A and B are shown apart, each in its own frame.
Chain A
Amino acid sequence: MAYSKKVIDHYENPRNVGSYDKNAVDIGTGLVGAPACGDVMKLQIKVKDGIIEDAKFKTFGCGSAIASSSVITEWVKGKTIDEALTIKNIEIAEHLALPPVKIHCSVLAEDAIRAAVNDYKSKQTNNPQH
């Protein structure tokens, strides 16, 4: 199976790899896994005034999973947290020209955004002073 140029580019030069302190109030952490293949993906968003200022990821899995998470760190930046939730896996899959057997990698990325936003939101409910 041949990877598209975009997948290879993101795989070889992943954007925004790294971690934030998962306990910080302005950080939302999404940790998701694909049990069928054993891949894990962590997406963290740094939020200020409802806008995602920055995002970092760490993915341990195949090239498509790494590329999918790399792409979403670029896409969520500058968006409000609710706008970020509108990113659909099919857009990621189309952008990276993922083959059908790798669509689940883009689903994982979409799940990671939702998990990160949910984590951020629950922190705000528990820390109303912020």
Chain B
Amino acid sequence: MRNLSLQEQCWSCKDVIKITALLCPTCHKIQPLREMNEFQRLDLETSFELDLVHLEKQYFQLQRKLHPDNFVGASALEKDFSRLHSAAVNHSYIILKDPLKRAECFLQIQGFSLSDKNIGLEDANLLMEIMEMREAIDVASSSNALAQVLNHARDIFEKGLEDLSHYFVQKVYAHAVKELQHLKYINNIMQECCVQLKKFA
């Protein structure tokens, strides 16, 4: 993880400032976009557990500071910085507010990859469960039948999210990867149910 206690020079007034500074405390100029993870981007602790209300507050606070609307009269360079900051904050916000994307992001920071073939990938029972649910959607001939699959998937999803949280608290990341893989399959199934349900509506 990047050490955010480092210092750098402001590009404009050359004062020494923290690399986390968005605006220079001396000359108030917007600073270039620095490399940091999604959590750091929103000025949050790097942790899966996240207060969504707090996340949203951070998001709006940062956008109020960084949004290109604030830099209409500024130089081309400052406009560029503002655009990049604003886009990066949007991107990080979208990832962090979705539990699955946040989990994947957090695990990547911890050095785990979802495509890691050594972790749980060839779980035949899991794949069978997913395939059976997929086939149930395929043959569903009424909105009732689809709703049944959807409800079943939702139950599994909610239980899985709870398990996932536990694994993060206990820092058993290999288990978290496996549960996240499971949840991604289930999430796709829920989405497909919703798509198919619309056809009946």
Contacts and interface: CB of A to CB of B under 8 A. Distances in A.
Contacts of B26: none
Nearest to A39: B188
Interface stretch (B50-58, B90-98, B145-153, B179-187): B179-187
B127 A32 contact: yes
A40 B124 contact: no
Nearest to A32: B127
Contact of B115 (A58, A60, A104): A104
A33 B135 contact: no
Contact of B127 (A33, A37, A58, A104): A33
B135 A58 contact: yes
Contacts of A42: 131
A113 B128 CA distance: 17
A93 interface: no
Given A35-B121, A37-B184, A40-B185, A60 B134 contact: yes
Contacts of B163: none
A38 interface: yes
Contact of A38 (B121, B131, B135, B188): B188
B115 A35 contact: yes
Given A31-B128, A35-B114, A60-B192, A40 B134 contact: yes
Interface of A: 31-40, 42, 58, 60, 104
Given A36-B115, A60-B192, 20 more contacts: A31-B127, A31-B128, A31-B131, A32-B122, A32-B127, A33-B121, A33-B185, A35-B115, A35-B181, A35-B184, A37-B184, A38-B187, A38-B188, A39-B188, A40-B127, A40-B130, A40-B134, A58-B135, A60-B131, A60-B134
